[in-house]
Amino acid sequence: MRKLLAFTVTLALVAAVTAYLVWTQERPVAHYLSDLRITLAVNEGVPADRGNLLGIQPELFPADYQSLERLHLKLAAYLQNARDQGLINDKTIVVLPEHIGTWLMLTGEKNEVYQALHLKEAMNWLSISNPVQFLRAWISATGADRMDDAYLRMKAPAMARDYQVLFGGLAKEFGVTLVAGSIALPNPSISQRQLQIGHGALYNASVVFAADGLPIGDPQRQLYPIYDEREFIQPGDENVVNVVDTPAGRLGILVGSDSWYPDNYRKLNDSGAQLIAVPAFVLGRETWDRPWRGFKSVSTPPEVSLKPEELSEGEAWRRLTLISQQPVSQASAGMSVFLRGQFWDLGTAGHSFLSSNGQITADGDARGARMLNIWL
């Protein structure tokens, strides 16, 4: 009797495990109607032969990431709209927002991930749908927050590949230089013009793709991750601020609130940066209008006198971003572009703005997808 009971229990366990493993492999694709509309919110300057900076502030949701084809459809529709309005030429530099590549961790997942109401619920579905990948990532995690580290690390090889396929493909399709926002990857690097991942810590990095679809320069790692990310994102080397050559001039990248630090502009000056792109991301639907909480890293520049809560988050971004403000920044123009949309219970904020001749021109209405353009 005991042997029969043991056999029955074993058989049931085997059946349950088999059913679970079969379930993890199922990836049904739900119907999803994406909003492909985008508004040209700011258009500064006069068309000339020097090119232009074109910021794309997308409105994205988890379901947009279910497949590369779906995400490509949306981003390509934005760029086609810009092309139809005469905003794309062979000297155009397109700037996308911070973490637009990080959410590639969601590609090819089960519908439960996209349909979840809360981030925690979605991440639970993500881990139980990919048990082996998640376990390996958790074991190799280096951040203080092993769970968040593992979520980002578990699909890193596919994320790096998809990032280059998608954004390199868009750069080639539209014949532009493309600042592909940013992506969180373990020790990212460029080898033979291919984005590679390594071992060790995660970095939030931005890659620039040329019109041939291949990366130029090295990934620009974020130097000062915000407090909310420091337990799983490692700061980059403060001495490494990259500048790349583009058809429109020498371009520097500052990721997120790295644009608040005057010393970064001095380093870009030393490298001859003429243009500056700032992929950015602000969490929380109402954060932009709430009191600024101060510098979001362990380092506060000694020459900055702003105090927390004496102005709003949005005002702080515009005051602290010093693009084209002599003598700190010798760049002629630049822009800060924010990611918008709704990721489960995580709202987003940020009104993209551009800088030229020491002046800032902001988009006053952040609803929906927006484009900002400045002719150089």
Q: Is the pLDDT of residue 26 over 60?
A: no
Cα–chain center distance at 2? 58
328 is a domain residue: yes
Given this model, what pLDDT does residue 121 score? Answer: 94
Lowest model confidence (mean pLDDT) among 8-12, 180-184, 355-359? 8-12
Given this model, what pLDDT does residue 368 score? Answer: 86
* Look-up of token digits 């969490």: 283
Given this model, what pLDDT does residue 175 score? Answer: 98
Phi and psi dihedrals of 197, rounded to 5? -115, 160
Specify the DSSP element, H or E, that contains 371: strand 370-375
User: pLDDT class for 306, splitting at 50, 70, 90?
Assistant: confident
Q: Is the pLDDT of residue 35 over 90?
A: no
Given this model, what pLDDT does residue 174 score? Answer: 98
Lowest model confidence (mean pLDDT) among 27-31, 169-173, 218-222, 333-337? 27-31
259 is a domain residue: yes
User: pLDDT class for 20, splitting at 50, 70, 90?
Assistant: very low
- Residues 6 or more apart whose Cβ sits within 8 Å of residue 279: 95, 96, 97, 98, 100, 179, 181, 182, 206, 253, 255, 256, 337
150 is a domain residue: no
pTM of the model: 0.91
Given this model, what pLDDT does residue 28 score? Answer: 63
Given this model, what pLDDT does residue 21 score? Answer: 47
Contact 323, 53 (CB under 8 A): no
Contact 116, 56 (CB under 8 A): no
Phi and psi dihedrals of 281, rounded to 5? -155, 130
Question: Which neighbouring-strand residues pair with 185?
Answer: 203
Q: Is the pLDDT of residue 146 over 70?
A: yes
pLDDT, mean of residues 224-249 = 91
| CATH number of the domain within which 87 lies | 3.60.110.10
Q: Is the pLDDT of residue 15 over 50?
A: no
Q: Which residue has the higher pLDDT, 33 or 170?
A: 170
Residue 119 Cα distances to 31, 318, 353, angstroms: 21, 30, 29
User: pLDDT class for 123, splitting at 50, 70, 90?
Assistant: very high
Range of the domain at 337: 37-107+155-375
Residue 240 Cα distances to 178, 221, 371, angstroms: 21, 8, 30
pLDDT, mean of residues 325-342 = 94
Q: Is the pLDDT of residue 359 over 90?
A: no
Neighbours of 34 (CB within 10 A): 15
Q: How many domains does the chain have?
A: 1
How much is the mean pLDDT over the chain?
A: 90
Phi and psi dihedrals of 287, rounded to 5? -60, -35
29 is a domain residue: no
Given this model, what pLDDT does residue 5 score? Answer: 53
Residue 111 Cα distances to 28, 67, 268, angstroms: 7, 12, 44
Contact 38, 84 (CB under 8 A): no
Given this model, what pLDDT does residue 143 score? Answer: 83
pLDDT in tens, 275-294: 999 999 998 888 999 999 88
Going by C-alpha positions, the residue among 46, 34, 55, 27 that lies closest to residue 370 is 55
**% of residues, the chain, pLDDT over 90:** 72
**DSSP code of 292?**
P
Contact 348, 282 (CB under 8 A): yes
CA–CA separation, 101 and 183 (whole Å): 4
Going by C-alpha positions, the residue among 133, 150, 131 that lies closest to residue 141 is 150
Given this model, what pLDDT does residue 7 score? Answer: 46
120 is a domain residue: no
272 is a domain residue: yes
Q: Is the pLDDT of residue 265 over 90?
A: yes
Q: Name the token pair of 89.
A: 């030429």
User: pLDDT class for 18, splitting at 50, 70, 90?
Assistant: very low
Given this model, what pLDDT does residue 294 score? Answer: 85
Given this model, what pLDDT does residue 184 score? Answer: 97
305 is a domain residue: yes
Q: Is the pLDDT of residue 298 over 90?
A: no
CA–CA separation, 38 and 67 (whole Å): 21
User: pLDDT class for 34, splitting at 50, 70, 90?
Assistant: confident
Handedness of CA 179, 183, 187, 189 (dihedral sign): negative
Q: Which residue has the higher pLDDT, 135 or 15?
A: 135
42 is a domain residue: yes
CA–CA separation, 247 and 224 (whole Å): 29
**DSSP code of 256?**
G
pLDDT, mean of residues 71-94 = 97
